[in-house]
A and B are shown apart, each in its own frame.
Chain A
Amino acid sequence: MLQFLLRRLALIVPTLIGITICTFGFVRLIPVDPILAMAGERGVTAKRYAELVIKYGFDRPIWDQYFIYLGQLLRGDFGHSIVSHRAVVLDFVTLFPATLELSFFALIFAIVIGIPVGIIAAVRRGTWLDQGLMGTALVGYSMPIFWWGLLLIIFFSTTLGWTPVSGRIALNFFFKPVTGIMTIDSLIYGNWPAFFSALRHLILPSIVLGTIPLAVIARQTRSAMLEVMGEDYVRTARAKGLKESRVVSLHALRNALIPVVTTIGLQVGVLMGGAILTETIFSWPGVGRWMVESIFKRDYSVVQSGLLLIAVIVMVINLFVDILYGAINPRIRAN
């Protein structure tokens, strides 16, 4: 197990280096002066420009520049935003919890609905129920979520008035963020109305963001269940006379869920990509929307560092899922 862990970690290192090389190269490929982009300044004087050249090492060979860049990253210097005039890492830390909270609830939605749907479809395989559920899943998988979100907003927020239009919490609530995650912060302050307000604001965005993961998880659960239910040990359990529901829940499910865990883990990248679209539609103040706006505003420092930070976070989460998978998969554990 330890060996497995170490091998996994070792694989991360070259990818990490690769990511930093990519972001290092990115700022030199954009159609704007890289020095100004990294410094987050526009229209500087000649004197200031000379200062910046030395600071970012542009007078040195490219290898030196890369190591200077790495050094800055390790020191936590991810550049400055042209728009907000603050350190990029500060903006990121402010905005990331919103994306995290949204992704978390979207995933919960996808799992809580997706797995039972997959199980039911597998157990009732071939029936109208199965075909209907899987058909709906396929529709969800084919959905352009930016359109889906707009439709839901029209229907539930504007016409029915059940859900709020935008924002993370009703404007009456004002507390200094602790973690940046509204649901947690409101509980820390013991403010129940705030907590429920935050939940209400999460409903539609989570549904929209979670639609595709839900479809994928539902389909994958069904496949895994079908495969497992054909296995010998399941047939043995049935032959022993166990009730079907016990067969399903005790024997089949546990083993079917193993590949499903992998699928869930793989959805992290999907969530990050989907967050970009979902946050744009719902004006959700997260890193996805931040990245899109920064591209338009030519805030390349943000784009470069945002890309790096997001990629690293996704990688860390995938690593965690890998380890989890290794822990629960008896074949790997036995090794």
Chain B
Amino acid sequence: MKLMKTVLTASAIVAMMAGSAYAKQLIYCSEASPTHFDPGMSTGGNDFDASARTIFNRLVEFEHGGTAVEPGLAETWETSADGLELTFHLRKGVKFHTTSYFTPTRDFNADDVVFSFERQYKEDNPYHAYLGELQYDYYGAMAMPAFIKEVVKVDDYTVKFVLTQPNAPMVANLAMDFASIESKEYADALVAAGTPQNLSTAPIGTGPFQFVDYQTDATIRYQAFADYWKGKVAIDDLIFAITPDTTARTQRLLAGECDIMSYPNAQDIASLKANPDLLVLDQPGLNIGYMAYDTTKAPTDKAEVRHALNMAINKPALVEALFGTGNAVPAKNLIPPTMWSYDDAIVDDPYDPAKAKEILAANGVTEIDLWASDRVRSYNPSFARSAEIIQQDWAAVGVKANIVQMEWNQYRVDGAKAGRGGAFQIGWGGDNGDPDNFFAVLFGAAAIGTQNYAMWNNPDFEAAIKAGVIETDPVKRTAAYVKAQEVMNAEAPAFLMAHSTIYVPMNKKVLGYTMDPLAMHRFDNVDVAE
């Protein structure tokens, strides 16, 4: 047995050496295939991990490990006195990638910025609908069309965003992945060649890694960009090994096939932490798992019924069963405790099945749809499991829950349709550290049909989130969002489940990796010990 193992290991070592001598390689086991490599049209964390954070840069960027914004492709910026103009002064001497399919002839300049945004709002831009039915979802979800009037080139290295009204979070929004900067030169060349879709399959950016190859559903390969404006990163070869099955992902990490992985099973955390070869980093996630009630359709159109349904669920037991001990904290507000404006004074619905049964019987509630999907999310490791637990809790108070099971992509499309009814399980990971990113995006009236799965339209809530966006004084903004939390607590458009901790297990030879509150996986500051 020992001989066999030695022979096998020896052949593996020979294999590795033959494969990549002297190059520093990092293998990241990711949890899903990217739909494509255009961050403007993507919505999944895994899409952004694979494109925005490797190949692209943005005007401003989030700092490593935090949500503060730092200069990116823009060196400085200022807002006009009336708050309607946001001017960025761009960095000079930034180069685009040179690959086997494209060689840039000029450096990055304002044209690229203008193109990157115009394609998202101008209908006559050749890239506005270049991928069939796909749209710039994030641009729409963040209500950018309502806030941005136009993006103007002032000169080669100055760009101005003209807004329709003052918008406090706008700079933070521009650090988000959908605002990644593409190369206009490359885009024009592709249109001329008649192959615009290549923008999303053979991408060109200014980022720390350049695209080498994608084998569908298997591996993505990147190479360090030698002329990166921040200086070439430590890793030479970056490989994404796409492994959707969580157990397989963990096993690959244990076997040394990957150096770092995303989203381990909650129940494996303890054993991973105990493993002497591994390091498990963790951080409270800027996320929320919840269940949105359809507030426009009976029986969940009455707040009383929604409160009753909430009271029937044993939340601490649910969180424990779902995440394991200590991996998540039951939620009483939409935003996590780590976020500013969190209102700790809010009192959650108590666990009172007797009272719940009374109210539900009085309202004649006997049946309800409960939606679940198959994708593993950081805010919910198993929709199916949480559905079964909630189903049981509701059965105990006389409500029969029909579990509606659907594949992830179809799930989010069908879940947003008018007339859906019932309870829809979903969640959210914050994108920019701003409460607006939670309240407005998830429960604002403008998001009905996209992210507002509760179809909720409450005037008090709308007033609160509007104030939160327009005000620039942090004290006033905090007050606005506290009001938003109070309204949500009173009306209960959703059952708030938990805020989970994000874990990133890695081999001890991976150095410098920083946990990211926005659950990004970034490798530009990572090194590998020999």
Contacts and interface: CB of A to CB of B under 8 A. Distances in A.
| Bind each other | yes
A165 B216 contact: no
6 contacts: A41-B132, A85-B36, A157-B255, A158-B251, A172-B16, A283-B244
A44 B18 CA distance: 49
Given A41-B133, A153-B251, A166-B252, A194 B15 contact: yes
A162 B4 contact: yes
Interface string B1-28: 1001100100110111011100001010
A38 to B, nearest CB: 14
B219 interface: yes
A331 interface: no
Contacts of A95: 216
Given A165-B251, A171-B239, A283-B245, A197 B15 contact: yes
Contact of A94 (B19, B27, B216): B216
Interface stretch (B277-285, B293-301, B407-415, B498-506): B407-415
Interface of A: 41-44, 83-85, 91, 94-95, 153, 157-158, 160-162, 164-168, 170-174, 191, 193-194, 196-197, 200, 283, 285, 296-298
Interface of B is mostly: mixed
Contacts of A174: 19, 213, 219, 221
A299 to B, nearest CB: 10
A113 B90 CA distance: 68
Nearest to A280: B245
Interface string B28-69: 000000011000000000000000000000000000000000
B447 to A, nearest CB: 18
B374 interface: yes
B5 A161 contact: yes
Contact of A171 (B14, B27, B407): B27
Given A165-B257, A173-B15, A43 B133 contact: yes
Q: How large is the interface on B (under 10, 10 to 19, 20 to 34, 35 or more residues)?
A: 35 or more
B254 interface: yes
Interface string B405-433: 00101100100000000000000000000
B346 interface: no
B19 A173 contact: yes
Contact of B410 (A41, A162, A167, A298): A298
Nearest to B212: A174
Given A158-B255, A162-B5, A285-B218, A296 B133 contact: no
Nearest to B11: A196
Contacts of B25: 172
B257 A171 contact: yes
Contacts of B19: 170, 172-174, 193-194
Contacts of B14: 193
Nearest to B407: A296
B16 to A, nearest CB: 5
A250 to B, nearest CB: 37
Given A166-B248, A194-B18, 18 more contacts: A157-B255, A158-B255, A161-B5, A162-B4, A164-B255, A165-B255, A170-B19, A171-B241, A171-B257, A172-B16, A173-B19, A174-B219, A191-B18, A193-B11, A200-B12, A283-B243, A285-B215, A297-B410
Nearest to A194: B15
Contacts of A166: 243, 245, 248, 251-252, 257
A170 B15 contact: yes
Contact of A161 (B132, B245, B255, B410): B255
Given A174-B221, A285-B218, A158 B254 contact: yes
Interface in B126-179: 131-133
Interface in B211-233: 213, 215-219, 221
Contact of B257 (A167, A196, A297): A167
A83 B20 CA distance: 33
Contacts of B5: 160-162
A298 B408 CA distance: 11
B133 A170 contact: no
Contacts of A42: 133, 413
Given A44-B133, A170-B16, A172-B16, A164 B257 contact: yes
A196 B215 CA distance: 21
A280 B16 CA distance: 27
B3 to A, nearest CB: 12
Nearest to A176: B213
A167 B241 contact: yes
Contacts of A173: 15, 19
Nearest to A158: B251
Interface string B250-284: 01101101000000000000000000000000000
